[in-house]
Amino acid sequence: MHDQNDPIHKPVVVIYSGGMDSFTLLNRLLSEGNTVLPVSFHYGQRHARELECARQVCESLGLKHQIADIRAIQGLLGESALTSDTAVPEGHYADANMRATVVPNRNMVMLSLAISYAISQKAGAVAYGAHGGDHAIYPDCRPEFVERMRAVAAVSDYEPVDILTPYLNWDKTRILEEGLRLGLDYSQTWTCYNGRDKACGRCGSCVERLEAFAANGQTDPLPYETAAGADT
Amino acid sequence: MHDQNDPIHKPVVVIYSGGMDSFTLLNRLLSEGNTVLPVSFHYGQRHARELECARQVCESLGLKHQIADIRAIQGLLGESALTSDTAVPEGHYADANMRATVVPNRNMVMLSLAISYAISQKAGAVAYGAHGGDHAIYPDCRPEFVERMRAVAAVSDYEPVDILTPYLNWDKTRILEEGLRLGLDYSQTWTCYNGRDKACGRCGSCVERLEAFAANGQTDPLPYETAAGADT
């Protein structure tokens, strides 16, 4: 992992979607004194709310924000609820129907590009918010995948690039707990798969987010279409 | 490696630049009876001659050719002689100045996208033309890199994707020898870093290509600006 005592303190590229996990990660890295280079990917999401959150947060923090528009490669990717007109499945991530939300190999694509960016910026590492809640259905969020990607990133260029995933074995509740301890304002994030004025409170992302707030005894500052958020 | 006796004979995605190595690889896979899905990457090369060769070859072979335009991600990548206005270095690949031709982490980016494509097409493998001649200066052409990428591709999605690199320990002379045995017409390929009417005969790519033809006792069918090709 990143050595705080390293006299040559290299920047860290962070994959920052604008959602709550990567928002917490970004702020954690800043709180540790890192020079942070946030990069967001525009891959044809159904809506731009997360990216807009990311842009605003970076602006307010005075960070150089790189948005990589990779929509042109959409033709290569398979069908996905996140990028097509298929209905967004409701319920828990762990449900089988949430598989429809998977963009095949998305994390490998984003990590590869982030590593290229890290090399070009002489950064020492790429951080991303893989966490335990996603292990069940996203193969590219599992420890096995991360370990193997770290092995690749160590030899793909002249200088090794590390991959940092401090939340790899945390669930969303614990990530939020850290963020609340850091005093973060989660109204600066967007999680809902739908891009309407208020969060829907019913999609897998909303359900998990609301559960994390409930488990921390807090109320999500975002407005929801449903009365108290999720009705599950 | 790909099992010819596999009753479920899955397609193979091949990364096809239009140059001689991937042209030979494509035809080798076809001669083995594979269903081949060629994909080319438009990442901001100085000229489009290789891609145009790739397009024409796929058309003549009746293959569905996928061109992934990834120029939009150029902002993420560092400076490179292949994509900027820097002068193209002359001489052998092994020379230190040829490092300037490296797009950082390019093979990882292309492999990641090709793996996404393979997953979406239910292909069993991605083939690419990494070969021994590139080991000296391209970290992402070395056996160590390939082995580690294979390990990642085995776990990045629900179905493993294999990575095939039959030329990994071959030099260009041996690749050409195979292609000539297959009766391939190398006027259908382009290798020169420059995109003029005739190949320059002086850049690293031309020098290697001409050496391979000479070692096979053959004359390159491409026209050259230099009298007998390279003057080295």
* Residue of chain B with shortest Cα separation from A79: B120
Nearest-by-Cβ selection for A66 from B76, B103, B142: B76
The percentage of chain A sitting over the pLDDT mark of 70, rounded to a whole number, equals: 79
Instruction: Let me know if residue A211 belongs to a domain.
Output: no
Instruction: Let me know if residue B199 belongs to a domain.
Output: no
For the beta carbon of residue B130, count every other beta carbon within 10 angstroms. 28
Mean pLDDT for B174-189 is 97
On whether any CB of chain B is under 8 Å from the CB of A75, the answer is: yes
Least confident of A108-122, B93-107, B168-182: B93-107
A4: exposed, middle or buried (C-beta count within 10 Å: 0-12, 13-18, 19+)? exposed
Most confident of A37-51, A100-114, B37-51, B115-129: B115-129
Instruction: Let me know if residue A232 belongs to a domain.
Output: no
On whether any CB of chain A is under 8 Å from the CB of B104, the answer is: yes
Least confident of A92-106, A166-180, B47-61, B117-131: A92-106
CB burial string B86-114: b at 16+ within 10 A, e below:
eebbbebbeeeebeebbbbbbbbbbbbbb
Position B103 scores a pLDDT of: 61
The percentage of chain B sitting over the pLDDT mark of 70, rounded to a whole number, equals: 79
B interface test, pick of A76, A77, A82, A128 with most B CB neighbours within 10 Å = A76
Mean pLDDT for B180-201 is 94
The per-residue pLDDT for range A171-225, each reduced to its tens digit, is: 999 999 999 999 999 999 999 988 899 999 999 889 999 999 999 999 999 999 9
Those residues with Cβ within 8 angstroms of residue B131's Cβ, 6 or more apart along the chain or in another chain: B21, B141, B167, B168, B169, B170, B171, B172, B175
Query: Identity (one letter) of the amino acid at A118?
Result: A
The ipTM of this complex is 0.84
With an 8 Å Cβ cutoff, are B69 and A73 in contact?
A: yes
Position B127 scores a pLDDT of: 98
Position A223 scores a pLDDT of: 95
Element (H, E) at B53: helix B49-61
Q: Please report, for the domain that includes residue B115, its CATH number.
A: 3.40.50.620
Nearest-by-Cβ selection for B156 from A70, A117, A140: A140
Nearest-by-Cβ selection for B78 from A78, A120, A152: A120
Cα–Cα distance for residue pair B190/A224, rounded to 1 Å: 57
Cα–Cα distance for residue pair B129/B37, rounded to 1 Å: 15
The mean pLDDT of chain B is 84
Residue A83 in this model has a pLDDT that exceeds 70: no
Least confident of A76-80, B112-116, B190-194: A76-80
Q: Are B132 and B171 in contact (CB under 8 A)?
A: yes
Of residues B158 and A199, which shows the higher confidence score?
Answer: A199
On whether any CB of chain A is under 8 Å from the CB of B120, the answer is: yes
On whether any CB of chain B is under 8 Å from the CB of A145, the answer is: yes
Cα–Cα distance for residue pair B210/B208, rounded to 1 Å: 6
Position A218 scores a pLDDT of: 96
- Res. A85 pLDDT band, cuts 50 70 90: very low
Position A86 scores a pLDDT of: 45
Mean pLDDT for A158-169 is 94
Instruction: Let me know if residue B208 belongs to a domain.
Output: no
Residue A37 in this model has a pLDDT that exceeds 60: yes
Least confident of A55-64, A221-230, B124-133: A221-230
The per-residue pLDDT for range A44-57, each reduced to its tens digit, is: 777 789 999 999 99
- Res. A77 pLDDT band, cuts 50 70 90: low
- Res. A90 pLDDT band, cuts 50 70 90: low
On whether any CB of chain B is under 8 Å from the CB of A71, the answer is: yes
Position A120 scores a pLDDT of: 87
Instruction: Let me know if residue B231 belongs to a domain.
Output: no
Residues of B in contact with A113 (CB under 8 A): 73, 76, 109
- Res. A93 pLDDT band, cuts 50 70 90: very low
Position B63 scores a pLDDT of: 97
Q: How many degrees, rounded to 5, is the angle at CA B185 between CA B183 and CA B188?
A: 150
Mean pLDDT for A70-77 is 70
For residue B85, what are its two tokens?
Answer: 């206005």
Position A103 scores a pLDDT of: 61
Residue written as token pair 């994909």: B39
The per-residue pLDDT for range B90-112, each reduced to its tens digit, is: 555 444 444 444 567 889 999 99
Residue A80 in this model has a pLDDT that exceeds 80: no
Domain that holds residue B140: 12-191
Cα–Cα distance for residue pair B100/B91, rounded to 1 Å: 12
A interface test, pick of B99, B107, B156 with most A CB neighbours within 10 Å = B156
For residue B209, what are its two tokens?
Answer: 């290509």
With an 8 Å Cβ cutoff, are A108 and B156 in contact?
A: yes
Position B140 scores a pLDDT of: 84
For residue A71, what are its two tokens?
Answer: 């929509």
Residue written as token pair 């390990």: B151
Of residues A153 and A135, which shows the higher confidence score?
Answer: A153
A interface test, pick of B73, B76, B107 with most A CB neighbours within 10 Å = B76
The per-residue pLDDT for range B13-62, each reduced to its tens digit, is: 999 999 999 999 999 999 999 999 999 998 777 778 999 999 999 999 99
**Cα→Cα distances B207→A95, B93, B97, B228, Å:** 57, 9, 15, 11
Least confident of A19-28, A102-111, B190-199: A102-111
The alpha-carbon gap from A181 to the nearest alpha carbon of chain B, in Å, equals: 33
The number of domains in chain B is 1
